[in-house]
Amino acid sequence: EAQVTQNPRYLITVTGKKLTVTCSQNMNHEYMSWYRQDPGLGLRQIYYSMNVEVTDKGDVPEGYKVSRKEKRNFPLILESPSPNQTSLYFCASSSRPPGATLYSNQPQHFGDGTRLSIL
């Protein structure tokens, strides 16, 4: 089954304790991205990756890191989490980036989310 898998689904932790949220997709997609979802704000992009070893900042990258060492995995790293990073996080993937107008439409597939609470 084609899917995007995030772990953990829920995490409560404390300020300053490094954490990693993993994301894995089994569709051989090149494009992957991380979003956070906050009430009333919709999804905001944190980082995205066009392919292995190619990552770039989205709209709200401060306080986050990512890596793309393999095509299927795109972990989100919070080196020193703070309470304002309490949010619902989604990982997504697609075969091509959204702006790839030369290709057919490329909707993203989303994971089921990770709810982080930073105390």
**Closer Cβ to another protein, 1 or 42, answer by number:** 42
Residues, the chain, total? 119
The token pair at 46 is: 């944190």
1 makes contact with another protein (CB under 8 A): no
Terminal CA-CA length for the chain? 36
Report which of 21, 17, 25 is spatially closest to residue 71, judged by C-alpha positions.
25
58 makes contact with another protein (CB under 8 A): yes
By CB under 8 A, name the binding residues for another protein: 4, 31, 33, 35, 40-45, 48, 50, 56, 58-59, 90, 92, 97-99, 101, 105, 107-113
